[in-house]
Structure formats: C-alpha cells, structure tokens
Amino acid sequence: MLLYLKAHLHLQQTATFIIQQIKYHRFCASIIRAFLLLVGITSFSTFGSIPVSGNFTASATCPAFQSFRKETNPDNTHLIINRRYEALSINNKDWQWVQLRILGASPAVRWVNKHCGTADFKLNGNTASNSNANNNNQQTQNSCQTPNDFDSYVLAATWQPGFCEHANYKGRKPECNAINSGEKTISHLTLHGLWPNKRSCGINYGYCDSQATLNLSSATIKTISPWMPNFFYQNSFGEYQWKKHGACQNLNDDDYFLTAIDLVKKVNASPIGLYIKQNIGKTVSVSEFKNQLTQTLGTNAVNRIRLSCSKGRYLTEVQLNLERDFNPGDNLVSQLEKAPKSSRFQGNCKNMIHIEESGR
C-alpha cells in the first residue's frame, strides 16, 4: 500500500510538472508571437528568408505585401517611385521578393517583387544585384518571368463602391475619393486587370519585361476611363497593371486594355453584372448568387468564377478564368467553359455579403 501511494504521488508530481512546462512554453510562444507582430513579422516562415544589408530604390508603384504568397496588403501600401527603402531580407538565394521597411505602413515590414526597383544591398559579403542584364539572364532561366509562357487568363472585375468604401487606400486613389464623396457615381463593374496566368507559378507569373512602359493613345484613355476610373485622374494604376501583367502577353498596350474593357463590359451585361446591380445596397446570400448564375450560365461556367470580398463581408471583385487563346467574339459562357476551373465560387467571402452603393 505504501509503495502504491508513493507511486501515485510520483505520477501526480510528474503530471503537474508536464502541465507547468506546457503552460510555460505556451507563454513563451505567445511572447515570441507578440514580438514578431511588433516588429512587423507575421509568419514564422520569415525565418526561412536570407538577411541582407542595404537599400532598394523603387522604380514602379508596386504594392507592398504583408504576405507575398497571399498577396495581402491590409492598408494598400504601394512603393513611391525613386524613393529608397531599407532592405531587410530576400525570400531565397534565387530571390524573387525582397523584404523592406516602409515607414508609415502598418505593419512596416513588407515584401515587394524585385522587378519593382533596383537592389543595392549585400548578401554574405557579396553585393546583390537585379540590374537589367541580370534580370534578362534570370528571366531566361525563370519561366515565371518569360513573356507569352502562360496557360490562361484571369479577368478581375471590380465592384468599385465596395472596394473604395472598405479598402484602406490612404487617399492614394483619387477615383475612390471622388466615389466616396459623391462627386462620381459608379454603378457597374470596372476593370482591375486582365492577368496572364501560369498554373505552375501560382501568383508569381509576371514582370516579364523590366523595361516595359505604358504609352496609351488619348483615344484609348478616353474609351477605357469610365471602365477603369483611375484613368480619369492619373495613369499610375494602369502603368502598374501593364508592367506586371500586360507585358507578359503579345498584345500592344492599346489593344490589351481595349480587349480587357470589352471583356468587362460583357461581364457587366451578363447575369453576373445584372445580379449585382439588382442588389445594390442589399445584403445577399452567396449561395443564392451562385444558384442564380448556375441557372443562367450553367454549372461549368460558374465553376470558373470566384468572388472576392473586403473583410469577408463586402463584395469588391469578381474573378473569371479564361483560356489562353480565348476568342473575344465568343459569348461569355463559351469563354468560361473552355478555361481552367477556379477555386470555390465563394472565394474569401462569408456566406452573406453586402453589395455597396456608390458613395458613403
């Protein structure tokens, strides 16, 4: 009996010790996580990156991502051309992404694509470079930056009132200022972008020509401005879309944007756009939205469509997959049915979503 009591006591002490250790390590993990958030690092995967010392000078108004894999940009921070930023790390030895400290951003530590500027930093005592010559060599080796080496397109059509009301764009989008103030009313889908896509590259297919420049005719700008409202005020968003996406396909810049606008018009006039416009100012069920489209477009077409929401609740975008060699003259159903399947229709949206009306 005495031996039994001693053994029982020992087991209790052991169990108590284990519980204390678990609590201690959980506490330590919490402290580490809080520290990482404080300095702007939001994923333990950051430890897989390679530290660098030096600067990075922006040459394009590229987005600065909190996570380049998920393309998260919570406060819509973009680089400012010719501004020099402190470089902190690169994603790997054959780096495609560089981590910068961007004062004023929250969090301040962000990732940008290497083609968005010029590197002037050192790695393990050696100077890293992404000069044009090196870029050309790397592009030959890296099929995710090879022009016309894509297998499909993604057409991203924005519901501008939802984006402008709920995105933290820090006043950098004059079209949103005009929409939110009531100066401009938008009640149709607009163009975010027409993106050549390569399945094996995930979100990394782009920046195929570091020298790409946008030179649209005044007639083209006049035609596309109502469907890409940033062009009413500036060309910066169009320049970014052309540099990252447009330069990876073989249409010239005028034809590329005009083709994209024609596609958005087609989507806007389809059951997709009609359903959105019929429900402006209302909260709707995603499943009901999908059912309505399935009845009119068919299951195969709907399987190529994905919604995107701000904060999971406010509709901001509809993304449609198209085949690489789509025929602009085909109807929307034919264009969709030939494309690769998308991820789930609901995307990052919750079960119930709100379709904002223009203005606040």
Predicted confidence at residue 133, as pLDDT, reads 37
Containing H/E element for 243? Answer: helix 236-244
Distance (Å, whole) CA 245 – CA 231: 17
Predicted confidence at residue 2, as pLDDT, reads 47
pLDDT at 291 over 90: yes
Side-chain-side CA neighbours of residue 57 (13 Å) = 5
Average pLDDT of the chain is 85
Instruction: Answer for the pair 58, 116: CB distance below 8 angstroms, yes or no.
Output: yes
pLDDT at 294 over 80: yes
Predicted confidence at residue 105, as pLDDT, reads 87
Q: pTM higher than 0.75, yes or no? A: no
Alpha-carbon torsion (122, 124, 130, 134), positive or negative: positive
Helical packing angle, 271-278 and 286-297, nearest 10°: 140
Instruction: Answer for the pair 189, 299: CB distance below 8 angstroms, yes or no.
Output: no
Predicted confidence at residue 45, as pLDDT, reads 40
Structure tokens at 341: 């399947």
* pLDDT tens track for 214-271: 999 999 999 999 999 999 999 999 999 999 999 999 999 999 999 999 999 999 999 9
Structure tokens at 196: 């050549």
Distance (Å, whole) CA 239 – CA 237: 5
Burial of 57 (0-12, 13-18, 19+ CB in 10 A): middle
- The 10 Å Cβ neighbour count of residue 335 is 24
Q: For residue 50, give Cα distances in angstroms to 90, 99, 124.
A: 5, 10, 9
Distance (Å, whole) CA 247 – CA 64: 20
* pLDDT tens track for 56-104: 998 878 889 999 887 888 888 888 888 889 999 999 888 889 999 998 8
Angle at 331 between CA 329 and CA 337, to 5 degrees: 115
